[in-house]
Amino acid sequence: MHRRGGNWGKGFSENQERVVMAVPLLTKKIVKKRVKKFKRPQSDRKISVKPSWRRPKGIDSRVRRKFKGCMLMPNIGYGSDKKTRHYLPNGFKKFLVHNVKELEVLMMHNRTYCAEIAHNVSTKKRKDIVERAAQLDIVVTNKLARLRSQEDE
């Protein structure tokens, strides 16, 4: 049984128009050399030692002396590839937006950057920003934030 049309089985009917959003310019695969965060030595044993990384400076420190089987220390080799650094998994770089006017900056860079609405923007302004972003073909990462709670009321 053969079906015509490339969109069969993808939730689109034949007379429905498909909305095309900006496609990211990045084609290279994003590789993270290390995903786990570096933890401070002995932070799992002592409550007073917080897990945020601090370089060990003691003369007898096994971690500083790089003994086999001990924690690894962060170094320059764990850095990301320069071409994919700061890219999100969706293939865009993030740009924080506080109002509609700041979206105009992204107009020519809509295939490299996506907009993220700042957390302190009101629901009314959020709707305006999302609406204008759709006109300019700019991807907004958190366009659904704070919309559902207003619709429920």
**Structural domain boundaries in the chain:** 34-79, 93-152
- Residues 110 and 138 sit within 8 Å (Cβ to Cβ): yes
pTM score: 0.74
Digit-coded pLDDT (tens) for 56-109: 999 999 999 999 999 999 999 999 999 999 999 999 999 999 999 999 999 999
Three-state secondary-structure class, residue 131: helix
Structure tokens at 17: 């128009």
What percentage of the chain reaches a pLDDT higher than 90? 75
